[in-house]
Structure 1
Amino acid sequence: MPDQTADRLDLRGDCARCFGLCCVALPFAASADFALDKPAGKPCPNLQGDHRCGIHPQLRQQGFTGCTVYDCFGAGQKVSQVTFGGQDWRRGSAEHARRMVEVFPVVRQLHELLWYLAEALTLPAARPVHAELRRAREKTEQLTLQSPEKLAALDVGAHRQEVNVLLLRTSELARAGVRGKKKDRRGADLIGARLKGADLRGACLRGAYLIAADLTGADLRGADFIGADLRDADLTDADLTGAFFLTQPQVNGARGSAGTRLPTSVTRPVHWTAQV
């Protein structure tokens, strides 16, 4: 089996190899997450000529919290260096820049799927579907290597649905090994829910809305977090050991503490240490 750890290194954003695509391609609206409005295709005013953010160390203080919880899963460097062969959008034609902006979100979705597939292949309980997962991963990787024209025309939603069938089966297999009754909270509205100390071992939290939920000291071992919205959720002293399909953007959007136990696939956000 390929080294999954090595595979996932390429699925983390590397801004040094990207042309600041997330700062150009993505739109955002003035809100608690962003200090101003910006349409898709227009460079953020904080983007410098070297494609670096001029206020990166002060993003949260300057009202750009949304930027700190975003991750392209390595799509930025893939589009910059592979899809467009290192040709900067600033130096190309208007059509070239437009096409880069169009393709980036597509590749980002494909890379997110690659992240989930790579993680699924690390789960021993999912061994019965490992062969199918490997085929899905190979197909997804090949899709990311298509021409800009083919990527722009790709029905990425259909491919996501196809892969999701496998990810669902993976989740069922992985959670089956967790002892006790496993709660199904798929797509549940748990905004602001009081779940302090809750036993959510092996729970299905796929697509659940956990915005500002109190999960202090909750037992979330072996839970499926794919697509869960954890913005401002309180994970202080919660145990997420063995939780899967949990991404760095989800963790970055939550609140936590030194006592929060995380799976090895993600890192503890720096801003957690500054929280009171």
Structure 2
Amino acid sequence: MDKETAKNIRESLKADCSNCFGLCCTALNIVASSDFAINKNAGTPCPNLNDEFRCKIHQNLREKGFKGCTVFDCLGAGQKVSQNIFNGQNWRENPEIAEKMFSVFPVMEQLYEMIAFISEALTYEVSFSLHDNLNQQLEKLQNLTDMDADSLLSIDLVMCRFPIKELLLETSQYIRSELSSKVFAIKKGKECSGADWIGKNFSGKDLRTTDLRGAYLIATDLRNTDLRGVDFIGADLRDANLSGANLSTSLFLTQMQINSAKGNEKTILPSHLQRPYHWI
């Protein structure tokens, strides 16, 4: 697969709520917290979901205590389950499929997340062996998303994730090394995976090609920070301040991470991510 095709796949992974039956509002469990104003069990419709599968308070979610809803992004798993796996049948008119539909949705969501990471990896210049392995994994994942509901529910997601985790780690190391030596002409960034940087100040720092996989960056001050080539896979960016930061070539950064952070019009994002409406 060429880079342009991979880029198109990555950029196509966007939620289309108009073709989904409110699955994120029904299938998922919600725990009352600073992100959600209520407790809600998985499989129970949110009280804010209307008869047309739309949110009654969509324009005021943050003010009403549902900040977490503005962060969530299924990458298009919702419409895939609604329109393809269940052929446009909705769970209100067909209550007999509700339980299975709600169980399939989180499986599809995880498959789409893996597809997003693998397709992004294929947009970079990598070795032939890496490119070949990434292509194979992408094809496998795409085939899985086309299976029927019962087959999807039989997938062992832990075993599915394991080879992908190793492959993405290898890709990250390769890309960050190449960026450091051939693009930025700097020493490769530090290995800080899992670092606890909660509330710390890194404003204006040069963190290019740093490994921040799984790092805790809650309320971290990253204003005007150079974050190009930084690996953010699994990092917690809730309330991190990215105002003026350069994330143009950050690796494996998701819309959910960006939605959970703070930023402004000067924050530079990768092309496949959108500036959240709540950023000032």
Q: CA deviation at 1:191?
A: 1.2
Output the amino acid matched with 1:51: F
Q: For 1:93 and 1:48, how far apart are their aligned partners in 2? A: 17
1:9-42 per-position Cα deviation (integer Å, ceiling 9, x unaligned): 4421110111110000011111110111111000
179-188 or 113-122, which moves further after superposition? 179-188
Q: Of 88, 92, 95, which residue of structure 1 is paired with 2:94?
A: 92
Whether 2:74 is the aligned partner of 1:64: answer no
Is the contact made by 1:26 and 1:41 (CA closer than 8 Å) also made in structure 2?
yes
Q: Of 209, 220, 224, which residue of structure 2 is paired with 1:213?
A: 220
Label 1:237 to 1:126 Cα distance change in 2 as closer, same or farther (>3 A): farther
Alignment of structure 1 residues 30-69 onto 2, 5 Å: 30-69=32-71
Could you say what secondary structure the match of 1:272 adopts? coil
Q: For 2:190 and 2:206, how far apart are their aligned partners in 1? A: 9
Q: For 2:107 and 2:254, how far apart are their aligned partners in 1? A: 18
| Residue of structure 2 in register with 1:162 after alignment | 163
Label 1:126 to 1:43 Cα distance change in 2 as closer, same or farther (>3 A): farther
Q: For 1:123 and 1:181, how far apart are their aligned partners in 2? A: 17
Is the contact made by 1:207 and 1:229 (CA closer than 8 Å) also made in structure 2?
yes
Q: CA deviation at 1:198?
A: 2.2
Q: For 1:99 and 1:238, how far apart are their aligned partners in 2? A: 43
1:212-253 per-position Cα deviation (integer Å, ceiling 9, x unaligned): 111112111111111111000011111112111001110111
| Residue of structure 1 in register with 2:85 after alignment | 83
Structure 1 unaligned segments of length 5 or more: list them.
none
Q: CA deviation at 1:88?
A: 0.6
Q: For 1:202 and 1:24, how far apart are their aligned partners in 2? A: 39
1:43-67 per-position Cα deviation (integer Å, ceiling 9, x unaligned): 0011111111111111111111000
Output the amino acid matched with 1:57: Q
Q: For 1:74 and 1:146, how far apart are their aligned partners in 2? A: 16
Is the contact made by 2:111 and 2:145 (CA closer than 8 Å) also made in structure 1?
yes
Q: CA deviation at 1:128?
A: 4.2
| Residue of structure 1 in register with 2:183 after alignment | none
Whether 2:158 is the aligned partner of 1:151: answer no
The CA RMSD measured in Å over matched residues stands at 1.3
Q: For 2:159 and 2:277, how far apart are their aligned partners in 1? A: 36
Is the contact made by 1:41 and 1:98 (CA closer than 8 Å) also made in structure 2?
yes
Q: CA deviation at 1:93?
A: 3.2
Q: Which runs of 4+ in 1 moved over 2 A?
A: 125-128
| Residue of structure 2 in register with 1:226 after alignment | 233
Aligned residues between the structures: 272
Task: Give the TM-score of the pair, scaled to structure 1.
Answer: 0.95
Q: For 2:258 and 2:20, how far apart are their aligned partners in 1? A: 23
Q: For 1:127 and 1:239, how far apart are their aligned partners in 2? A: 29
Output the amino acid matched with 1:41: G
Is the contact made by 1:237 and 1:261 (CA closer than 8 Å) also made in structure 2?
yes
Is the contact made by 1:203 and 1:224 (CA closer than 8 Å) also made in structure 2?
yes
Task: Give the TM-score of the pair, scaled to structure 2.
Answer: 0.93
Structure 2 unaligned segments of length 5 or more: list them.
181-185
| Residue of structure 2 in register with 1:114 after alignment | 115
Whether 2:266 is the aligned partner of 1:259: answer yes
Q: For 1:127 and 1:259, how far apart are their aligned partners in 2? A: 36
| Residue of structure 1 in register with 2:28 after alignment | 26
Label 1:181 to 1:129 Cα distance change in 2 as closer, same or farther (>3 A): closer
